[in-house]
Amino acid sequence: MTRYVVVTGTDTGVGKTVVTAALAVALGARGLDVVVVKPVQTGVGPDEPGDADEVVCLTGSTAVHELVRLRDPLAPETAARLEGAPLPSIATVAEQIRRLDADVVLVEGAGGLLVRLDLDGGTAIDLARALDAEVVVVAREGLGTLNHAGLTIDRLRAEGLTPRLVLGSCSAEPGLAELQNRIDLPRLTGLALDGVVPAGAGSLDRTEFCRQAPGWFPALPGVD
């Protein structure tokens, strides 16, 4: 039976794409067949690389799918409205994803949890519910993360969804706030840190990225 994992963030720019790529590598190292899906890519032109291309570059996998691409660097609903472009409903996206044959399907969202992914108000919450998916929350390690992560995780629990917590883009020399947040996030959310992905991971060459990535996850969504 295929397992589904939706990767969301506490904000934009927290490292969702690199975390998604690293999860794909780590799951693959367990012998699992992994597919990555980016339902909506915004902010890129027809011939420009997007998040799915970055995943391919880092992992070497060709089992990566981008479903919709929009020009403006905005939330999907807003970008589609400005462009006059249609967006598939969450139900349609979930149906497309369920047709994929894999042990684990990783679905990278856009921005944070409540960003609208279609024109009917659907969010990552609705997509996760439609897929009966776990939700990986990618959080920053610095100041502000306790509030952002707490709000996101509380909302997921209120919706009856299973959250997992990963830190993206973590400093090799964390300061006081970063060190304490690595302690306080599990204490305050009740969630272990399932992954700590280092800053600069997305700049590694493919060989080094694939060598290191499995070690970034003490527990693996989609498996553990």
Whether 16 sits among the annotated catalytic residues: the reply is no
Does 224 reside within a domain?
no
At CA 52, angle to CA 155 and CA 69, rounded to 5? 85
CATH code at position 127: 3.40.50.300
The reported pLDDT for the residue numbered 103 is: 98
Q: Which helix (H) or strand (E) holds 127?
A: helix 124-131
Domain range spanning residue 19? 3-216
The reported pLDDT for the residue numbered 221 is: 87
CA distance to 55, 62, 172, 182, per residue, from 205 (Å): 12, 17, 18, 27
- In tens digits, the chain (224 residues) has pLDDT values of 999 999 999 999 999 999 999 999 999 999 999 999 999 999 999 999 999 999 999 999 999 999 999 999 999 999 999 999 999 999 999 999 999 999 999 999 999 999 999 999 999 999 999 999 999 999 999 999 999 999 999 999 999 999 999 999 999 999 999 999 999 999 999 999 999 999 999 999 999 999 999 999 999 987 88
Does 221 reside within a domain?
no
Does 199 reside within a domain?
yes
Distance, in Å, from the CA atom of 77 to the CA atom of 85, rounded to the nearest integer, reads 10
The reported pLDDT for the residue numbered 222 is: 79
The reported pLDDT for the residue numbered 73 is: 97
Does 80 reside within a domain?
yes
- Marked catalytic residue, from 38, 69, 140, 164: 38
- Of 136, 105, 128, the C-alpha closest to 28 is 105
Distance, in Å, from the CA atom of 29 to the CA atom of 214, rounded to the nearest integer, reads 7
Q: How many domains does the chain have?
A: 1
Q: What are phi and psi of 77, to 5 degrees?
A: -60, -45
The reported pLDDT for the residue numbered 97 is: 98
Q: Which two tokens stand for residue 83?
A: 């462009």
pTM: 0.97
Q: Which helix (H) or strand (E) holds 112?
A: strand 104-112
Does 66 reside within a domain?
yes
Does 54 reside within a domain?
yes
Does 196 reside within a domain?
yes
Distance, in Å, from the CA atom of 176 to the CA atom of 98, rounded to the nearest integer, reads 44
The reported pLDDT for the residue numbered 224 is: 80
The length of the chain in residues reads 224
Does 222 reside within a domain?
no
